[in-house]
Structure 1
């Protein structure tokens, strides 16, 4: 299949093709070229001069794990019976038939990062998935992180029960304890694999086992943190254990953007942008936040935190960030390639690049205009 007569905003190193075409084979992008292709067929799509670009990526949501319009029965986001639950797998809580997946697709969101909630200091495994499908296993791109939470949410959850943690100190201590146990567990596993004759395999521990990909650097540590001091705690813990940190929400990031910009290996997911200051740790919410982070060199994406903000308002969130001072092209990057890079899925999606999945959308108009929808949206080479 070829899509021709299109302007192509590739989101790949700023490459823009004013008149070009894209070829798709087996759900993958096989060519991105200028001009008009030869040998057109009936299955090929005339873009009528529209703007072709990659599908949007929401870098932090609870899509499908907190279902639309359903209270406890459809909320599988927080296993708050234990403050440290890295063994929770988000894929086991996803309902692909939640109507919000359809609403995401209609607004051009082809991939989403879905996380467990922030009631626990450690909530579980985070995954990235496509927004089309009937079985979560088929929608899955890959696990991308482990969810940690700092600040108000764990304090409030466990204070109501008179259990640890009820302070920021205790929240950090719970995280350190769990990670320290996992480090010792991994050391014992490695010792056994290097010398099985003289070493014993440690007794299986599902919590420690679930943290091994994180300790090996295969996935990232996503820290829920709104306040500036909580962001520094996240960085402190990440350095202690050699983790790749992602600061999720980063609401007060603009207060420390210059410091964050000096840190290596730090990225941020800014949002929700369109939101009220609904709790004390969000009192510093300001639409300039994303712009300040980006200006100071922090790799930053934008999220809705769905269902806090419905997922279909991701482009509107990017537009609000533009109003707050973010460069327009940087806003588009924040919901395409930067979201993919931060999630660790940029090898398969996030730009119109040969070899990546054909996750595409076509516009006649501004993609960030709240009044505009894409003409069509494609996931894995299929119009959805």
Structure 2
């Protein structure tokens, strides 16, 4: 008798689990799939965390048991190409600021995954604005501040959230380093320190692949992984001379590089394009002071016109709430000459490609993660609201108004 009751409970729980499995239909007046032309009067079917169908309403029949959500405009989940959320908290408190350690200007061994707080209020803040994936971690300010990672935003632990635990090592060139460290003090000294460290890392990389490897050195391991192509160097450089230095370092040591910030990139369009380097562009509305004093609203449009791959980032701000929203930054870029489709690509499929996660996110296609954002109007209009955010096939935010 007890066995029968137990078996009945197991069957009931299994049946209930099947019923609770996310089965969602999204119906949109315009669906920007990022895989070709937008679909007018389109439908997306979602099951088991993945997109199972996408096409016009004439082609796709919505099953009766699917939960239907409607919107004026539908896009893939937005991807913030570079942020520090999860390490930097929403308030100016020492206890929630782990994005920069000022004990040593060169610390590439610091891992973002060891500091990321999935429950941080700032993570929820960007999720509500449609950002479903973040490339986050140690921020600018040190010659080498540490590693970055990629995470989904709705989850409660880093283990649930993480897509890639080690993506880049964050470097900084320019006067920003002087704010936090007594040494190097000048640009030339900082680059000399970095170059010397890379020379040591090159020797370490050669030895670790030999029959007599050295004792493990976490700092050298991280830099050797850059030289071996296992990690990418993300170099924050805003002024033209710092951008050129970053390009020289890439050429000298032969590593893969993403140019970050690049406030004066418009002065070096040919050089950046010839180097084949993508750009995580500075937030369009960044405060124009210090190294970013010559930032421009039109940089995104000029990069797009030149065919240089770029993506929008929120970056790091020293004031509450300590981050920007890439949707707003993209809207200002659109108002200053960037085509709408290019702006959408620069916060969806383009960052996904640059971060090598395009097989999972960045576009609406069969088999990809069901990360979807629903708008009640043009995403780049100030009066538009995000009505629904779906991540991995689950509704994580639903509002009548923003």
How many residues align? The count is: 369
Equivalent of residue 122 in structure 1, options 144, 162, 167 = 144
- Asked if residue 88 in structure 1 is aligned to residue 110 in structure 2, the reply is yes
The answer to whether 1:41 aligns with 2:64 is yes
Distance in 1 separating the partners of 2:322 and 2:104? 29
Query: Does the alignment pair 1:186 with 2:197?
Result: no
User: What corresponds to 1:296 in structure 2?
Assistant: 306
Please tell me whether the aligned partners of residues 304 and 310 of structure 1 are also in contact (alpha carbons under 8 angstroms): no
In the alignment, which of 143, 158, 170 is matched to residue 147 of structure 1? Answer: 170
- Which one of 164, 184, 188 corresponds to residue 169 of structure 1? 188
**Which of these two proteins has the greater Rg computed from alpha carbons?**
2
Aligned 8 A contact 1:59 1:112 in 2: yes
Give the Cα–Cα distance (whole angstroms) in 2 for the partners of residues 171 and 344 of structure 1. Answer: 30
Deviation at 1:201, TM superposition (A): 2.2
Counterpart contact for 2:315–2:324, Cα < 8 Å: no
CA contact (8 A) 2:130 2:389 kept: yes
Q: Is the 8 A contact 1:225 1:248 kept in 2?
A: yes
Counting only pairs closer than 5 Å after superposition, residues 1-384 of structure 1 correspond to structure 2 as: 1-6=23-28, 7-12=30-35, 14-36=36-58, 37-38=60-61, 40-47=63-70, 50-142=72-164, 143-159=166-182, 163=183, 165-191=184-210, 199-264=211-276, 266-279=277-290, 281-307=291-317, 311=323, 313-384=325-396
Give the deviation of 1:225 after TM superposition. 0.7
CA distance in structure 2 between the aligned counterparts of 1:210 and 1:46, rounded to whole angstroms: 45
The alpha-carbon deviation at position 156 of structure 1 amounts to: 3.2
Could you tell me which runs of 5 or more consecutive residues in structure 2 were left unpaired when the two chains were aligned.
Answer: 1-22, 397-402
Q: Secondary structure of 1:158's match?
A: coil
CA contact (8 A) 1:316 1:369 kept: no
Shift of 1:46: 4.1
**Counterparts of 1:217 and 1:15, CA distance in 2:** 35
RMSD: 1.8
1:156·1:166 contact (CA, 8 Å) conserved in 2?
A: no
Summarize the Cα distance change of 1:310–1:205 in structure 2 as closer, same or farther, 3 Å threshold.
closer
Structure 1 residue 39: deviation in Å?
Answer: 5.8
Task: Give me the whole-angstrom Cα distance separating, in 1, the residues matched to 2:301 and 2:348.
Answer: 16
Change (3 A) 1:319 1:127: same
Distance 2:108 2:46 in 1: 38
Asked if the contact 1:106/1:373 (under 8 Å) is kept, the reply is: no
Take 1:187 and 1:45, find their aligned partners in 2: how far apart are those partners? 57
- Runs of 5+ unmatched residues, structure 1: 192-198
Q: Deviations over 1:266-319 (max 9, x none)?
A: 00011221132232x111011011111121121111112144575463211101
Q: State the distance in 2 between where 1:239 and 1:205 align.
A: 25
Between the aligned partners of 1:331 and 1:218, the Cα distance in structure 2 is 29
1:56 to partner: Cα distance: 0.9
Q: Alpha carbons of 1:66 and 1:2: their partners in 2 closer, same or farther (altered >3 Å)? A: closer
